[in-house]
Amino acid sequence: MVDVDARSILAEIDPRRIPVHVGCVMDGNGRWANKRGLARTQGHSAGEEALMDTIDGALELGVRWLTVYAFSTENWKRPPDEVHFLMRFNESLLERRRDELNQKGVRIRFTGRRDWRVPRRLIKRMDEAIELTRNNRRMTLTIAFNYGGRAEIVDAVASIVKSGVSASKISEKMITSHMYYPDMPDPDLVIRTSGEYRISNFLLWELAYSELVFSDVLWPDFRRQHLFDAVKEFQNRDRRYGGLDAP
């Protein structure tokens, strides 16, 4: 359903100022389901269409990097049934969607910890998706799974200490080079859905100068026109990076 709405918003977007990297905190699945008298897990399932339409919208805009938050290091606190569902759901989603994403020229990556809690079968699907799409360059879709911004910083610090570098050599550039994906540009735009005004441990180091857009839409209702809206808002922002505007 690429409706008239999406087309008309798209017409107002400047194609020369598309954000290179868009991050997305996909939140509100449970509330979407509750409102309909459904189980929370059905909200997660309904989020798949939102994700696929957002990916298509990002491709249409020419976004080069899209990072989506699928499971945080804190989401293990949820009831075991929900956690289990999310593991199986992500596993099957990868299996169902990898060919289609591959055909669209999407390179799939995962960011986050691969610890013992992530089921082997899911790791296997992740590796298959990475391998299948590794040469694609139209867009890099990074799925943040068992990801925490603080955990990433902790892992970077551990890796720096392990490398035996002296304190005088520590710099921002050096720390960046120890993050999970040093080649990934910082996000220009981060969108959070569901009307929550927080970051919830998403890309803490990387979003120092990202433009933040908060949307009231619950994730399963999110479609490309909402992405286009966020990009339009992004284009109205004045990014100063601590400096001053040119006179």
Q: Which residues are catalytic?
A: 27, 75
The answer to whether 85 contacts ligand IPE (rule: CB under 6 A) is no
**181: its two tokens:** 């994906």
Residue 136: contacted member of ligand IPE, Mg ion, none (CB under 5 to 8 Å, by partner type) = none
Segment near Mg ion (CB under 5 A), from 21-29, 57-65, 108-116, 130-138? 21-29
* 29 touches ligand IPE (CB under 6 A): yes
Instruction: Kindly state whether residue 53 participates in binding Mg ion, applying the rule CB under 5 A.
Output: no
By CB under 6 A, what part of segment 197-236 binds ligand IPE? Answer: 198, 200, 219
| Contact residue for Mg ion among 18, 21, 27, 133 (CB under 5 A) | 27
Quick check: 26 binds ligand IPE (CB under 6 A)? yes
* C-alpha dihedral, 219 to 36 to 90 to 185, nearest 10°: 10
Query: With CB under 5 A as the contact rule, which of the stretches 27-35, 97-105, 140-148, 201-209 interacts with Mg ion?
Result: 27-35
Tell me if 152 contacts Mg ion by CB under 5 A: no
Among 61, 63, 71, 230, binds ligand IPE (CB under 6 A): 71
Task: Tell me, letter by letter, the H, E, C secondary structure of the chain.
Answer: CCCHHHHHHHHCCCHHHCCCEEEEECCCHHHHHHHCCCCHHHHHHHHHHHHHHHHHHHHHHCCCEEEEEEEECCHHHCCHHHHHHHHHHHHHHHHHHHHHHHHCCEEEEEECCCCCCCCHHHHHHHHHHHHHHCCCCCEEEEEEEEECHHHHHHHHHHHHHHHCCCHHHCCHHHHHCCCCCCCCCCCCEEEECCCCCCCCCCCCCCCCCCEEEECCCCHHHCCHHHHHHHHHHHHHCCCCCCCCCCC
* Residue closer to Mg ion, measured from CB, 27 or 152: 27
Report in angstroms how near the CB of residue 199 gets to ligand IPE at its nearest: 8
In the chain, how long is the greatest CA-to-CA distance?
Answer: 58
Given Mg ion, ligand IPE, none, residue 210, with its beta carbon under 5 to 8 Å by kind, binds none
Question: Of 29 and 215, which CB lies nearer to ligand IPE in the complex structure?
Answer: 29
Residues that bind ligand IPE (CB under 6 A): 25-31, 69-72, 75, 86, 194, 196, 198, 200, 219
